[in-house]
Structures are given as C-alpha cells and as structure tokens.
Amino acid sequence: MQFPETDELSTERGWQDQANCLGVDPDLFFPERGASTREAKEVCRGCVVRGECLEYALVNGEKFGIWGGLSERERRRLRRARAQANRQAI
C-alpha cells in the first residue's frame, strides 16, 4: 500500500487554508438536529474555496455538517441530480 507524500496531502487540502471557516468554532457547522444552519451557510456564502469544500464532501461521502454551503440533505439531492445527469449522458 502506498501513502501520499506529505507534500501531496498539503497540495490536495491546501484549499482549507483559504477557507472562511478557518478558526471558526466547528460546532457551528455541525448543528444539532433541527437547529438552524443559517449562520454556517452565511460563513460559506462568500468563501473563495466553497466549491473545493463541497467537492471534498461529495467525494468523501461526508454525511454530517455543512460543507461548501450545503447541508447533507442538499448534498444528497446534488448527488442524485449528478447521477441522473450522468445516466442520461450515456
């Protein structure tokens, strides 16, 4: 088994160093069930790496929290829409 070099890992996740949420309490992005996600999404709204964050969550199957400005329910819808678009493209 090969493990990525440290430089590869830092390049892959270098986007995190530019994220608006850097230094923000992580609990904000993992609200209790039924609690508002508005504040977390507001942090994400103008983030320059919002797309990278969202793709990271989609690729890694993140099931909880706000990633790239979307909740798990919203990411699930996006995954379904992408899967449907891919099926139609074939």
Say if residues 21 and 47 touch (Cβ distance below 8 Å).
Answer: yes
Does this model's pTM top 0.85? My answer is no
Q: Taking the domains of the chain in order of start, what are their residue ranges?
A: 25-89
pLDDT digits (tens, 9 = 90+) for 3-42: 344 444 444 678 999 999 999 999 999 999 899 999 999 9
Give the chain's mean pLDDT.
88
Say if residues 76 and 90 touch (Cβ distance below 8 Å).
Answer: no
Q: Which has more confidence, 86 or 5?
A: 86
Measured between alpha carbons, how far is 35 from 37 in angstroms, rounded to an integer? 7
Residue 1 pLDDT exceeds 50: no
